[in-house]
Structure 1
């Protein structure tokens, strides 16, 4: 649970600028201390007027650059939300290059401003001015490098393909967490005993994370068993239990305390949400107002790569799974439906999309026939049935059927 909260803070758009701001303040504060340890014959290397002029230029320019960069960044976020999906915007704000650029400019402005205040107030001696000068030169180099990186980043920032790349990368991290600790360390969910009572959250929302080790410790201490039908991403609330407990009802609030529920879904431990988001991008691209099949093809390719990364993982359990906590594993049928059914519906009249969808389903079956075979065949048949009603050309329909792997 702690790692989940720390990861949230680390990814927040405000965190890195705050770190740079603190670093700028610390650099200015310790400058006089370092200066006292320098040889006295070095102090003549710095001219105070030149240093003050340099800091003044940095202070005035970095503030303007920071404001302009933030405006550009948020315009790109809005463009991604409009052209791809609103679900892409929170992920775009986690872009490290953008965060580093804004942080550098804010930190440079604060360092320069505090440096000027220190010079004008006589805070630094001659040796302190030398340290401040060296730090200023290093800062100028860092700002120039970051400006070049930021310019390069802006070349693709906010586009639809960029949104697909960002969402795929975030979902891949979620898939990796699923692979590293199968089923988050819980045992696979059996049939829930009829004597187990439901634990319902007080408010409706999506499960974001579940602390399985803490639930295991709680279950051992209380002598109960905990069943979790709701994985991260599931909608829970009154009438939709987050858990079932076989044993005392007095620990229900403690159980809920180890399950974070929020109005929004996140990608951190919910790979299905990444597939849904990519499917939304494909559906928007296939709408008559956009008519961009190429983007749909890119989304299909991204989803295929992600699903192939889960092949062979659905029946796995952790090395030492919790023996008192049981959770439903990922369902390959649900994943394929989330990913491809919207595309089969919205791309039924586009033969190139249908062919790519059939090929993607064939690849998934080749990767893991036991998991993907049945749902892939069902979606393939569904896509062909929709295409029959939407395609007006027999040649296109024959080409689509020829691409069917079943």
Structure 2
């Protein structure tokens, strides 16, 4: 019996399809073919007795205008999108390209233009062979007018969007929203619905984790199908200890999981979706990496745009504080038993808070160490996080650690003593 498709896997599949530029245009092409033949259905009804007469020449004229213009517009829109993708790769980071390609407005515009062209070409061919009677011509005329209106509205909306497509500010917002989705999903299922590794006793790890599972594939983990692992564990009366999280790099020497048997572990290895690139959907850390890359590029001597780096520090602060908002909604760990988890035969390690801060702040504090504005905003960001979380929490401890680390970098990089004193005041104010 196949494992059920989980919400996480379904969400990942939908996200993967959104990254494919051909999916929506293909869907609109199929829809345009169906719409043409829908008009023929009206010829088999008594609708012709109640509608005004529409000449085939007038419908043919409208369709000819649409057919001659839509392919030009579709070609123009595709060229504009390609230029925006190239601009995004150069001005921000190539890792953000998948988010820009999945932009709904651009994909919808290209799909509507290509679909309108296919519709007009097929409808013209049908009219030239006298395929429609009076009722069919009337319905086709209405559908053509509706298509014209859709094309015009789509074009206007697309022009407004394409002006910002690929720009740094727009890219930052897309990365932040994608990271926010991943964080919110991880907050709902901190360990992907499985038992946290900390909940599993050391004796159970030794007793049921004696045999490691390796992968012959090399790449990044994009998704772990926990439901498939749970089913395998139930059928084999086992407990699986997942050793790697989405976003980690897999090589044949890395242990994916630990099980209590040597044979029939192919299902465990196949439950991991491994690819050449990381994915935003199930990997909250990847969003912080991409944001830090954009900030580092903005701080390079060739660009020297500290305003972008400051904007990204604000985004990172908002994202990290999402965990603060979830503290009161999640049940305490000591109130949960192993049976309370959705996948009680699988344990998954929790996301490392230290790694989150390292992804978000290390490269920005290193590349912006000599920029007093960036250094001050890093201190303010980390101070806010430290103050918002409980002092004993991992977030507060990591924020304090990286604030000290960032100050030491800036203290060595800044040449003006007054700037160092300003930065030291930020540290003192936070400690007070």
Q: TM-score, normalised by structure 1?
A: 0.95
CA distance in 2, matches of 1:158, 1:322: 41
Asked if the contact 2:317/2:381 (under 8 Å) is kept, the reply is yes
- C-alpha distance in 1, partners of 2:395/2:344? 28
Q: Whole-Å Cα distance in 2 between the matches of residues 391 and 362 of structure 1?
A: 21
Once residues 38 and 396 of structure 1 are traced to their aligned partners in structure 2, the CA distance between those partners, rounded to angstroms, is 84
Correspondence 1:150 to 2:158: yes
Q: Which residue of 1 aligns with 2:424?
A: 401
Asked if structure 2 preserves the Cα contact closer than 8 Å seen for 1:202 and 1:237, the reply is: yes
Contact 2:25 2:107 (C-alpha < 8 Å) held by counterparts: yes
The match for 1:47 is 55
Which of 367, 374, 379 is the equivalent residue of 2:388?
Answer: 367
What are the superposed Cα offsets for residues 103-160 of structure 1, whole Å, 9 maximum, x if unpaired?
1101110100001000001111122111100000111111111011011102211101
Q: Which residue of structure 2 lines up, in the alignment, with residue 99 of structure 1? A: 107
| TM-superposition CA deviations, 1:46-71 (whole Å, max 9, x none) | 12111101100001101000010011
Distance 1:340 1:142 in 2: 45
Gap regions ≥5 residues in structure 1? none
Aligned-residue CA RMSD in angstroms?
1.8
Match of 1:187, SS state, is strand
**Do the aligned partners of 1:200 and 1:236 also contact (CA within 8 Å) in 2?**
no
1:345 to 366, 369, 374: 366
Structure 1 residues 160 and 99: CA distance shift in structure 2, 3 A: same
Secondary structure of 1:182's counterpart equals coil
* Distance verdict in 2 for CA 1:42–1:63, change over 3 Å: farther
| 1:7-406 → structure 2 map (5 Å cutoff) | 7-42=15-50, 44-190=52-198, 191=202, 192-193=205-206, 196-245=210-259, 247-311=260-324, 312=326, 320-369=341-390, 370-404=393-427, 405-406=430-431
- The TM-score with structure 2 as length reference comes to 0.90
* Conserved? CA contact 2:238–2:345, under 8 Å: yes
CA, structure 1 residues 235+306, in 2 after alignment: closer, same or farther (shift >3 Å)?
same
**Deviation sequence 1:359-404 (CA, Å, 0-9, x none):** 1111212232312122111111111111111111111111112122
Shifted more, 81-90 versus 357-366: the winner is: 357-366
Instruction: Measure how far apart 1:181 and its partner are.
Output: 2.3
CA contact under 8 A between 1:183 and 1:329: conserved in structure 2? yes
Out of 32-41 and 235-244, give the one that drifted further. Answer: 32-41
Asked whether the equivalents of residues 195 and 341 of structure 2 are also in contact (C-alpha less than 8 Å), the reply is: no
Equivalent-residue separation in structure 1 for 2:411 and 2:15 (angstroms) = 47
**How far apart are the structure 2 equivalents of 1:35 and 1:343?**
67
Counterpart-to-counterpart distance in 2, 1:7 and 1:365: 34
Structure 2: gaps spanning 5 or more residues: none
Match of 2:410, SS? helix
Maintained 8 Å contact 1:199/1:242:
yes
Cα distance in structure 2, aligned partners of 1:348 and 1:22: 55
Q: Is the 8 A contact 1:42 1:127 kept in 2?
A: no
CA drift of 1:12 comes to 2.5
Deviates more, 1:111-120 or 1:396-405: 396-405
SS at match of 1:45: coil
Deviates more, 1:11-20 or 1:277-286: 11-20
- Matched pairs, number: 405
Q: Which moved further from structure 2: 288-297 or 371-380?
A: 371-380
**Cα deviation digits, residues 61-105 of structure 1 (max 9, x gap):** 010000100110111011011000000111100100011100110
Q: Distance in 2 between matches of 1:7 and 1:155?
A: 24
**How far does the alpha carbon of each residue in 1:261-314 deviate from its partner, in whole angstroms, 9 at most, with x for none?**
112110110010000000000000001111000010111111111111123569
